[in-house]
Amino acid sequence: HVQLVESGGGSVQAGGSLRLSCATSRFTYIRYCMGWFRRAPGKEREGLAATSSNGLTSYADSVKGRFTISKDNAKNTLFLQMNDLRPEDIAMYYCTADRIPCGPLSWSDEDAYDHRGQGTQVTVS
């Protein structure tokens, strides 16, 4: 079965950077939608960014200009480069994947994805 395993979380000072990785197994589809979400205590889950085989790359307003999503197809790995981290970025971050290419609205709906990882914690002080 498909597995997504995140890594790269940790604790940084405000203004710092982290690069999250999402290693996938058995997810080698030509058509795909892959995204990053986060959930902070007491807050709703938030779609942060997505990239798709149809060329779509989208970001939430809260991270636009600070976070960059990318995908290494050769390594079947999804990345999230996070710069200028702020205390409000504290959350559990997790990646998602689906065989259906992203739509302009569906990318931020976690229910649209069939697969998700366990997450990696990010703390900003």
Mapped to the 3 state alphabet, what secondary structure does 22-35 carry? EEEECCCCCCCEEE
CA distance 52 to 58: 9
In the block, which residue shows the tokens 């976690």? 110
Q: Is the pLDDT of residue 125 over 90?
A: yes
- Tokens representing residue 21 in the block: 């990785």
Which runs of E-coded beta strand occur in the chain? 3-7, 10-12, 18-25, 33-39, 46-52, 57-59, 67-72, 77-82, 91-98, 115-116, 120-124
- Tokens representing residue 27 in the block: 């997810």
Which tens digits make up the pLDDT trace of 35-79?
A: 999 999 899 999 999 999 999 999 999 999 999 999 998 999 999
Please report the pLDDT score of residue 96 as a whole number: 98
Which tens digits make up the pLDDT trace of 8-32?
A: 999 999 999 999 999 999 988 889 9
Please report the pLDDT score of residue 28 as a whole number: 86
In the block, which residue shows the tokens 């058509």? 31
Please report the pLDDT score of residue 123 as a whole number: 98
